[in-house]
Structure 1
Amino acid sequence: MDSLQQAIIEHTLTCLRRAENKLGKQFPDPAIRFTQRGKIAGSARMQSWEIRYNPVLLAENPQAFLAEVVPHELAHLLTFACYGKVRPHGPEWQKMMTEVFNVPARTTHSFDISSVSGRTFLYRCQCREHQLTVRRHNKILRQQAIYHCMQCHQPLTPVTGNASQRN
C-alpha cells in the first residue's frame, strides 16, 4: 500500500469520527479497499460495510478524492446505517453530505477518465457512427442484444475492419 492510499484510509476514518460526533452515534470502521475499476471513483457496499476506491483515479486526482470522493462514499454507508435502504442519492444522502460533511451533494465526478476508458468498437446506423464498449460489442456478437440509435432508431451494425481502440 502506498502513502496516498494510506492517507485516504486515514482521511476516511477521520471523516467517520467527525460524522459520529455530529450524529451522536458510533459506527464500525468500514473495510477500505482499492479495488474499484473502470470509470467509477468509488463505491460503497452497505451490506458488507465496505468502501472501494479506484486506485488509478485516486493517483490522478488525490485532492478531489480527499475533498469529495471520501465523504461521498462514506455518506452512503452512514445514510444506510441511519435510514436503512433509501434512494442512493436521495434527500437523506444529500442531507448527510451537506449537513454532516459540509460538501456539496454532487452525484458524479468530473474526472478525466481517458486513462481508465476501455477499448471501444465502431458501429454505424443511418445517421452517424457510435463507439460501443467491449461489453456491448460482446453482447451483440453473442446475439444477446441489439442496440439502436437514439436519433434514427435504426439498429447499430459493426463497421467492417472494426479495430478496437482506446477512447
Structure 2
Amino acid sequence: MDQILHRLEHCYQHAEQHFGRTFERPQVTLDLRGQKAGVAYLYRNLLRFNGQMYRDHRDDFLLQTVPHEAAHLIAYALYGERIRPHGREWQSLMTGLFGLPAHRCHDYPVPQRRSTRYLYRCGCPEHIPFTPQRHALVRRGRRYQCRRCGDLLHFTGQQHRVG
C-alpha cells in the first residue's frame, strides 16, 4: 500500500505544480475485488484498488492504474461532474500531464469466476440457466416467460456450478 500512496502523491504533486492549485488527497483502499483494477468514487473522494491485481502486476499497476484513477478525481476537481469518465478532460490529464497512454481498461488477465446457475424449465426441451441475481428476483415474486414458447419459467430445484 505504501508504494500506491507514494505513486498517488507523486501524481497529485505533479498536478498541483502544473495547475498551480492544491487538490484534496483521497482516501485509498485495497479492498476491490473482481475484474476492475481500480475505481474512483468522485463524490466521496475515494479510490479503491484491487489488491490481487496490484500484487500480480505491481510495476504496471503503479505506472498506469494509479495515475488512471487519480486522473478521474483530478478531472472531477478541475472540471466538475458534467464530464465523461474517459472523456477529453481525463484523456488530456493522462497524456498531457502524466505522459501516459489514455487506456480505458487494463489488460491484466482475469480468472473466470466460479458461479452458480439455477435451472428453470418451460415447455421447451432444454433448461434455462438463471444467475443468482435473477433467481433471487424470482424468489421475491418476479415471474419470467420463455421467449420461445411463452410459458412461465419454473425453478426445477437444480443448480450447477460454472467456471
Give me the TM-score of the superposition, normalised by structure 2. 0.76
Name 1:33's counterpart in structure 2: 29
User: How many Å apart are 1:92 and its aligned residue?
Assistant: 0.9
Deviation of the 1:24 alpha carbon: 1.9
Q: Offset of 1:64 from its aligned partner?
A: 2.0
Structure 2: gaps of 5 or more residues: none
| 1:42 to 1:148, Cα distance in 2 relative to 1, 3 A | farther
Counterpart for residue 24 of structure 1: 20
Instruction: Report the Cα distance in structure 2 between the residues aligned to 1:65 and 1:100, rounded to whole angstroms.
Output: 18
Partner of 1:119: 115
* In structure 2, distance between residues paired with 1:96 and 1:159: 53
How many residues are paired up?
A: 156
Shift of 1:140: 5.1
Which whole-Å deviations, capped at 9, do the CAs of 1:140-164 have from their partners, x for residues lacking one? Answer: 5545475999xx9x99x78984312
How far did 1:20 drift?
1.4
Task: Give the superposition deviation at 1:34.
Answer: 1.1
1:14 aligns with 2:21: no
Quick one: structure 1 residues 147 and 39, their matched pair in 2 at CA, closer, same or farther if it must change by over 3 Å? farther
Structure having the higher strand fraction is 2
Give 1:37 shift. Answer: 2.1
Does the residue aligned with 2:84 lie in a helix, a strand or coil? coil
Question: Offset at 1:129?
Answer: 9.8
Show the 5 A alignment for 1:34-53.
34-53=30-49
Task: Give a deviation string over 1:70-106, Cα, whole Å, max 9, x none.
Answer: 0110000000000001111111111111111111111
1:97 aligns with: 94
Aligned to 1:135: 133
1:22-79 Cα shifts (integer Å, max 9, x gaps): 2222112111111212211111111121111111221122122111110110000000
Contact 2:39 2:69 in 1 (8 A): yes
Unaligned runs of 5+ in 1: none
Q: Percent identity?
A: 28
What's the CA shift for 1:6?
1.4
Residue 139 of structure 1: how far off its partner (Å): 3.7
Matched residue, 1:163? 160
- Indicate the SS of the match to 1:13: helix
Cα 1:39–1:22 change in 2 (3 A) is same
Which whole-Å CA distance do the structure 2 matches of 1:147 and 1:119 have between them?
23
State which structure, 1 or 2, has the greater radius of gyration over its C-alpha atoms: 2
Shift in CA distance, 58/138, structure 1 to aligned 2, threshold 3 Å: farther
Say if 1:129 and 1:73 are closer, same or farther in 2 by CA, change over 3 A.
farther
SS class of match (1:107): coil
The residue aligned with 2:61 is: 65
